[in-house]
Amino acid sequence: EDKVVQSPLSLVVHEGDTVTLNCSYEVTNFRSLLWYKQEKKAPTFLFMLTSSGIEKKSGRLSSILDKKELFSILNITATQTGDSAVYLCAVEDAGGTSYGKLTFGQGTILTVHP
Amino acid sequence: GAGVSQSPRYKVAKRGQDVALRCDPISGHVSLFWYQQALGQGPEFLTYFQNEAQLDKSGLPSDRFFAERPEGSVSTLKIQRTQQEDSAVYLCASSYGLAASYEQYFGPGTRLTVT
């Protein structure tokens, strides 16, 4: 059974701090790892990672995947109060007929204080 | 506003009632997913449709849960004889293609509370 574990479960920082969110996974047939940001409603897509060692960046956010160690990190630099959200990590299993089926971790609750 | 929409946004049901939750995916999206998100947890997969075909229903927790997408567009998740453990947010997502390389767009969810 596919499994995703995120840490820490919650994190409180001040504006301007840099944070690192962790995601470890077990999946039978790995296709991709995805990061989502969830505020009070729908998760919104941040990154999709398929290859080890290639950093993806979007503004102050970046992410990298280590397929050997089954691990990914999400970095947020110069945090702002608008970054406060739940950050979800998910893996996609390539096996079976359900392409795109995602297994999510529990999420990391990030709170950024002014 | 061409995003995924869900209705109702909130539903309170008495234990034993039947409920129907609706999802309107983005027009032209082939894939449609239903997820269940309990409080403080990540979403959990329920079922997957490719057009009108339900290809995977392995995540449905019991035979009280039923989903359909008869014309390959709008989908309905039905829960019969609701129980308190069914209380959760039910998320619908759609994507253009058949794999996560096509981004899954999530709807705002329906928050179901069973009393």
Separation between Cα atoms, residue B33 and residue B27, nearest integer Å: 15
Strands B10-13 and B110-114 turn out to be parallel
Taking CA atoms, A51 is separated from A3, A67, A102, B46, in Å, by 19, 7, 17, 28
Give the pLDDT mean for A83-104: 84
- Residue that the structure tokens 């999420």 belong to: A107
Residue of B104, B110, B111 to mutate, testing the A interface (most A Cβ within 10 Å of its Cβ): B104
Separation between Cα atoms, residue A63 and residue A79, nearest integer Å: 15
Q: State the smallest CA–CA distance between residue A80 and chain B in angstroms.
A: 23
Burial of A50 by CB count in 10 Å (0-12 exposed, 13-18 middle, 19+ buried)? Answer: middle
Give residue-wise pLDDT tens across range A31-74.
Answer: 889 999 999 878 999 999 998 888 999 999 999 999 999 999 99
A93 pLDDT band, cuts 50/70/90, is confident
pLDDT value of residue A94: 77
* Average pLDDT of every residue of chain B: 93
Give residue-wise pLDDT tens across range B39-73.
Answer: 989 999 999 999 999 998 999 999 999 999 999 99
Give the pLDDT mean for B19-26: 98
Q: State the smallest CA–CA distance between residue A53 and chain B in angstroms.
A: 18
pLDDT value of residue A40: 81
